Structure 1
């Protein structure tokens, strides 16, 4: 589907296809973990889930004891992550003792992968 033809679609169709004002945005997070034990890794996962859920966001992804990546977007049907959510997650990861080499992606359309 050509996304540049959004304006010629009805509101009902834009909503059904998550286009225009109904687009859902999210961002990718990638980080390397310092040498951590299995227990420290489990604590890190529990903590990042708590941080994500506290902002009414959801995340999907995973990784190993060395690398971890996930995609984060809004928890509601038409809710999106915001720039403040990106900044908050980035700040939290930077102060976390387990992480280094943090990459926070730009906000992108969660359904179509475009800006």
Structure 2
């Protein structure tokens, strides 16, 4: 019997000692043109405008201003199911998954942080 999405999300938060943090309304920024590549990476920042704060891409990141496209959260399951377990990580967290069982998640240092 497989876990529900919520059970997977809670397990990821427990594994990485992160608070389970639901995502508010808004769209996810996703680089649709990269979804045929690996690995998947994401970062959750504070929501801005109609964006919920999640930015997802696969393969190599690009600074092209059109790299990310907005996607309604309800379409993520059909488009990119590998990222679902990570979507309840809190603001300030990043994740990595190769879609084959290798995963990592970490809290990124705040911009301008003096922590080493």
Structure with higher helix content: 1
Shorter-chain TM-score above 0.5: no
TM-score by length of 1: 0.23
> Based on CA coordinates, which of the two structures has the bigger radius of gyration?
1
Structure with more contact order per residue of length (Cα contacts < 8 Å, sep ≥ 6): 1
TM-score by length of 2: 0.23
